[in-house]
Every structure is written in C-alpha cells, then in structure tokens.
Structure 1
Amino acid sequence: MLRFLSILATVLFLPSPSLSTGLLIPLYSYPGTDAWDPIYTSIATYPTIPFYLIINPSSGPGQTTYPEAAFITSIAKINSYPNARVLGYTHTSRGTRPSTEVEDDIAAYANWSSYKEHNIALSGIFFDQVSDGEDGTKLAYFQSMAEMAKKNGLETVVFNPGVRVVGDVEGWFKAADLVVECEDTYDNWLALGPEEHFAKEGDYGKDAVILNRTPVEADIGGVVGVAKGLGIGAIYLTHDEDYMSYASVPKVAVAIAQGRRIPRAGV
C-alpha cells in the first residue's frame, strides 16, 4: 500500500489528460443467455465511456465463414451502442507464429462485415502475445500485421505484450492504437510505480492495463483514479484469472464515470 501511495504522489505532477479512459475487456466467455448482461448494461449506462470488447470464438475467429448464432446475436447487440468497439482476438506467439496464419485471422474477421442479416462488423484486432521489443527484428512483423488490419477496415489495433516495451518504443506505439504494457495481478500493480510498468510517460494515452486476481474488497476506485490521472487509455480489473467473470465490469465503469481524476499539482 505504501508503494501505491507513492504512485498517487507521482500522478500529482503529471499533466491532466483530455481523453476519457476506457475499458478494455477480454470477453472470452461464451455469450450464453445472460452471460454478457453486465457488459450490455454497463455500456448502455455509461455512454461517454469507450468500451473495447475482445471476442475470441476459437483462439481466433474459428474455421467457419461467420461466427455461430450466439456470437452473431451478441456482437450485433454490442454494435448497437455507439461507445462500444468489438475487437477480434488473434495470437502471435511473440512474433514467431507464421504471418500467413495471423493474416488469415485478420481476413476472416474482416469478412464478418459482409454478413447481411445483422451488423457483426468488427472495429479492430487485439494482437495477443506481442513481443516486448527486446528483439528488434520483430517490429516489422507487427507493423505489417497492424497495417493489414487497418487496410481491411479493422481500424483499432491493440498490441498486448503484457509487459513494458523495452526497445524501439516509438515504433511500437506508432503502429498500435493501444498497447497493453501491464497485464498482471492487482497486487503486482500496487507494488510498482508507473515508470516500472510503462515505457514512456508521453505514451500513457495509448497505454492499457489489464489486472486480474483483484480482491473483491479491493480499492478499484483508487486504481482507476491513478489510471485516469496518468491519462491511461484503457483499464480493466477482474476478480478471476481466466477473464470468464464480468462481475467487476460495473465497478470499473462506475469508477471511471464517477472517480476523480487526480490533476497536476496547482491545477
């Protein structure tokens, strides 16, 4: 907790951001009858908060031309909200997965926009298991994948190294709209300061944080307040490790909507 207080002190001297912090939610569960209800309710209740929802039908888009009926219904419902963006999941194995396989996933997701009966067009791609930049040869791979996604109408590109980018920071952040530099436990987030989680202060607006194993009694409002003060682009806290429960979504949404952004000293 002492380390968390030091983070608060650090935030006091950072510029106040102009853009709203959003929620980046790994929506990995099957969209059963009411499984995604906390998502729909939160999106509708807080129309000024950006919601980025990562869907993952089968470790990617799956082998069929379009997703199965439950996903079609649920994606169409999310697309009816102007503040929500659906992102398709694809893994990259730190840049070692054959690029043709990743390109096939991108093309499959892009093709969903051709579905006639409902609007299941995706807004972007979530690239998982992204390199942290230590191997400088990997950047070109991810730049190419990001460019292909955008050319196919998948405009929102999210990279998930899950850790701080350590090489060619400018290149990585230029290629993506959001970079998840911290996918970790709640306790580990509290234990470290911003400079240990993130590569560059000026890029905080394109940073995202995903925290798991968040205690039910945790100070979600405090964590979100720090994120807003830093100008973090998106955040999510969940109680479980596999992202299959969404009980925390309303709590995070409330914290973003009502929580106080900590301004720069003297403002």
Structure 2
Amino acid sequence: MFRLLVIATVLTLASTVLSTGLLIPLYAWPGIDAWTTIYDSIATHLSIPFYLIINPSTGPGNTEYPEEVFITAIAKLSSYSNTKVLGYTYTKQGTRASADIEKDIATYANWATYAGQNISLSGIFFDEAANGADPSKLVYFQNLSWKSKSSSLGTVVFNPGVKLVADVAQWFAAADFIVEYENTYANWVALAPYEHFSTSDHYGKDAVILNQTPVDADVDDVVRLAKDMGLGAIYLASDDNYMSLGNVPKVAVAVAQNRSVRRRRHGR
C-alpha cells in the first residue's frame, strides 16, 4: 500500500526541481581530517548545492571570532562555489529572548570582518522553530529573518522539525527553507511522503533531515523521491546527534545520480 501511495504521489507532481541540495548539520568538531568527507564530497559534486550548518558552541560562542580550527575549516568550506555555510542558533519554539538570538546573528555577521581568511557566512539556521500553532510567534520569526537578511546573512532556514499547522504561506515567505521533517528514517517510510508536509505549494522550500538511518536503508530511493517531489534539500544521517558524517558521500552520490537521470529524461 505504501509503495502505491509513493507512486501516486510522484505521478501527480507537475515538475521536478533540479537543484535539490544537501542540508547537513555539521556539528562534529572540525579537528584533523574530521571534515575530510565533507570536503571530498563537495569537490566531487560541484553541481550540487551544499548547505552546511556549523555550530561552534550551541551558537557562535562568546568570542569575536571562532577558534582557529573553525576558521581554517570554514574558510575551506567557503572556497567551494557550491557551498553555503549557515550559522546555528536556537529559538526554543519562539520563547528564547529575541535579543539573545540577534546577538548570535550579529556575532556571525561580524565574522565577515576577519582579515586572515574568508569566514563570511551565508545565512542562519534557526533551530527549534515554532510550527505555527501559536500565531503570535510568526512576527517573532519574521523579525529574526529580517534581522538575518539585513545583516548580509541572506539564507534563512527555520527548523520546526514538523509540518506547519497554520499561516503556512507566511511562514514560507519568511524563510528560504523550512525543515518540516526532522525525525527517524523509520518514521519517514511509515507514512506516504506528502503526509509529512503542510502543503505541496512550497515543496521547493521544504527540507527534510532523516536520522537513525539504517546501514541497509535504500538511500537512493529516498533521494529519488525527494527530487521527484521537488524538495529543496535533504539529508539522511546515521545518528541522531549528527556527529557522524559517514553518510555524506552516499547521499551526495544519490543526489548526483538522480540529477543525471532527470537531465537525460528532460533531454529526450
């Protein structure tokens, strides 16, 4: 039954977005060779957008610039043409003081002034975002988005981790991506894909992060479906704290392969 639902979902979609990227919580410490898997995948798949969330200290930390190990790593990430590096901050479903979040934004924005290497960020990843159930939270997040974009951090990602329940169009208007699914691989495949999203109108700005992905999971099948739906970004992690980067090459290859297939089909 699930397979039939998947096929029905795919066949009813009008178009395919060819720019589906990888949204990767890059939370592992960037020590010696720790991010080599990331660098290699980015360099191998230059046609794929990589959105990389860095998190030095549950946010940017309390210093003007990050530690040297982060400076070196971020500069390397930024040297590739297909990357956008996003700074992590959290919102506690819109209950954290906005002044504290704006301080994080200002700190990340200030990294652009670092003279030694290019550690400018492309945007902000707002974790623990609200799901729209409380209408008063919309203005809170709209203001944070405006603050980020006006600070030259133009790529804004909200992560409620669940589908939005109200004011969907306004929420998507305030963000470049919204993570409407952050949960296990098992829970993802238990339902038809469209059930995880608030509406098909914004699939191009939808992102999904699957965790606890089994070793024998059909990553290619999940990625193919995401691309046929036109989702904006996807990632499948093996763990739920995102310390392991072992799945990055597998997901990148799947995105690249499906990208090639779709291009060949459109070229006929």
In the superposition, the TM-score normalised over structure 2's length comes to 0.95
Matched, 1:189 2:185: no
Matched, 1:93 2:105: no
Q: How does 1:53-64 map to 2 (within 5 A)?
A: 53-64=52-63
User: Contact conserved, 1:225 with 1:261, CA < 8 A, in 2?
Assistant: no
User: Contact conserved, 2:71 with 2:119, CA < 8 A, in 1?
Assistant: yes
Q: Look up the equivalent residue of 2:233 and give its one-letter code.
A: A
User: Contact conserved, 1:208 with 1:235, CA < 8 A, in 2?
Assistant: yes
CA-CA distance at 1:16 after TM superposition: 2.1
Q: Look up the equivalent residue of 2:10 and give its one-letter code.
A: V
In the superposition, the TM-score normalised over structure 1's length comes to 0.96
Q: Give unmatched runs, 5+ long, in structure 1.
A: none
How far apart are the structure 2 equivalents of 1:188 and 1:144? 33
User: Contact conserved, 1:110 with 1:154, CA < 8 A, in 2?
Assistant: yes
Query: Structure 1 residues 30-39 or 188-197, which shifts more?
Result: 188-197
CA-CA distance at 1:18 after TM superposition: 3.4
CA-CA distance at 1:128 after TM superposition: 0.3
Residue of structure 1 in register with 2:71 after alignment: 72
Pairwise CA RMSD: 1.6
How far apart are the structure 2 equivalents of 1:125 and 1:88? 5
CA-CA distance at 1:20 after TM superposition: 1.2
Q: Look up the equivalent residue of 1:230 and give its one-letter code.
A: M
Residue of structure 1 in register with 2:167 after alignment: 168
Q: How does 1:195-214 map to 2 (within 5 A)?
A: 195-214=194-213
User: Contact conserved, 1:60 with 1:88, CA < 8 A, in 2?
Assistant: yes
Residue of structure 2 in register with 1:253 after alignment: 252
User: Contact conserved, 2:18 with 2:227, CA < 8 A, in 1?
Assistant: no
Residue of structure 2 in register with 1:106 after alignment: 105
Residue of structure 2 in register with 1:229 after alignment: 228
Distance 1:4 1:157, change over 3 A: farther
Q: Give unmatched runs, 5+ long, in structure 2.
A: none
How far apart are the structure 2 equivalents of 1:18 and 1:228? 7
Matched, 1:125 2:124: yes
How far apart are the structure 2 equivalents of 1:166 and 1:69? 42
CA-CA distance at 1:4 after TM superposition: 4.5
How far apart are the structure 2 equivalents of 1:67 and 1:17? 39
Q: Secondary structure at the match of 1:72?
A: helix
Query: Which whole-Å deviations, capped at 9, do the CAs of 1:208-262 have from their partners, x for residues lacking one?
Result: 0000000011100000000000000000001111100011000000000002459
CA-CA distance at 1:195 after TM superposition: 2.9
CA-CA distance at 1:202 after TM superposition: 1.3
Residue of structure 2 in register with 1:147 after alignment: 146
User: Contact conserved, 2:177 with 2:205, CA < 8 A, in 1?
Assistant: yes
**Identity over aligned residues, as a percent?**
60
How far apart are the structure 1 equivalents of 2:163 and 2:128? 13
Q: Secondary structure at the match of 1:112?
A: helix
